[in-house]
Structure 1
Amino acid sequence: MSVELNHTIVPARDPQASAHFLAGILGLSVDPPLAHFTPVTLANKVSLDYDRLDDFEPHHYAFMLGEQEFDAALARIQDRGIAHYGDPACREFGQVYHSKHIKGRRGTYFHDPDGHLMEILTPGGTDS
């Protein structure tokens, strides 16, 4: 069997709220609880298992979306008034980046309720 990522723990002060926030942006569902975790499973079957913690350092999570899914997620971010940025330092407010290295790749960054830096991006390789 090849090596694959199965799941990762996402620390959250309110796992239910944070899981629903991300699932809502990505157009996904929150899975039924698994022990004390609140999981969100991605299309490649990797699950983000939200776990309650009060003290943690924010992490970065990046999600590859198709062009239509990206546009839909970006629209949900904008409709909800969530600040998003064209750079990971969060200086390019309201921007979408266009990769200099991968033709057609675009992306944006935003924070979840726990301060994690979320990124959505497209695979690129197109003329968009």
Structure 2
Amino acid sequence: MSISFNHTIIAAKDRAESAKFFRTLFEVPEAPSWGPFTNVQLPDGVLLQFAEPPVEIQMQHYAFLVDDELFDRAYRRLCDTGVEHWADPQMTRPGETNTGHGGRGVYFKDPAGHAFEMITRPYL
């Protein structure tokens, strides 16, 4: 059997709020949820499980590859809703996007404070 990525748990202050932020931004429909998880199913089958851990949340980095059309719509939503964003991971270029690796990219934080990255071309 080949290997593929199946799921990950993303710590959230409010699991429903974080899942809704993700679904709305990336135009992903609701998925069945259970137990302590509010789930988001990506089109490739990967399951993102938002959960509220009983510990302080440490920032994590999650990067998502999207097509140019979704990037345009999602970036417009970031701007329209006032989500602070940067062209670089060091957060020194606020309100900008980048054109690294032959595509476009942007960094922003989700409601739990995780660093999200949206890119239109893979780095490799």
TM-score (norm 2): 0.92
SS of the residue aligned with 1:31? coil
| Cα distance, 1:123 vs structure 2 | 1.8
Q: Does 1:52 align with 2:78?
A: no
**Structure-1 separation of matches of 2:115 and 2:3:** 26
| Cα distance, 1:29 vs structure 2 | 2.1
Residue of structure 2 in register with 1:61 after alignment: 62
SS of the residue aligned with 1:44? coil
SS of the residue aligned with 2:50? strand
**Structure-2 separation of matches of 1:24 and 1:80:** 11
Structure 1, residues 10-69: CA drift from partner, whole Å, max 9, x if none? 011110111101111111123121222111111211111011124121100011000101
Percent identity reads: 35
Structure 1, residues 81-104: CA drift from partner, whole Å, max 9, x if none? 1111000111110110111xx22x
Residue of structure 1 in register with 2:98 after alignment: 97
SS of the residue aligned with 1:108? strand
Q: Is the Cα contact below 8 Å between 1:30 and 1:38 reproduced in 2?
A: no
| Unmatched runs of 5 consecutive residues or more in structure 1 | none
Residue of structure 2 in register with 1:106 after alignment: 104
**Structure-1 separation of matches of 2:3 and 2:112:** 30
Pairwise mapping of residues 1-128 of structure 1 onto structure 2 (< 5 A)?
Answer: 1-53=1-53, 54-99=55-100, 102-103=101-102, 105-123=103-121
TM-score (norm 1): 0.89
**RMSD in angstroms over aligned alpha carbons?**
1.2
Segments of 4+ in structure 1 off by > 3 A? Answer: none
**Structure-1 separation of matches of 2:91 and 2:32:** 33
**Structure-1 separation of matches of 2:27 and 2:91:** 24
| Cα distance, 1:110 vs structure 2 | 0.5
SS of the residue aligned with 2:76? helix
SS of the residue aligned with 2:105? strand
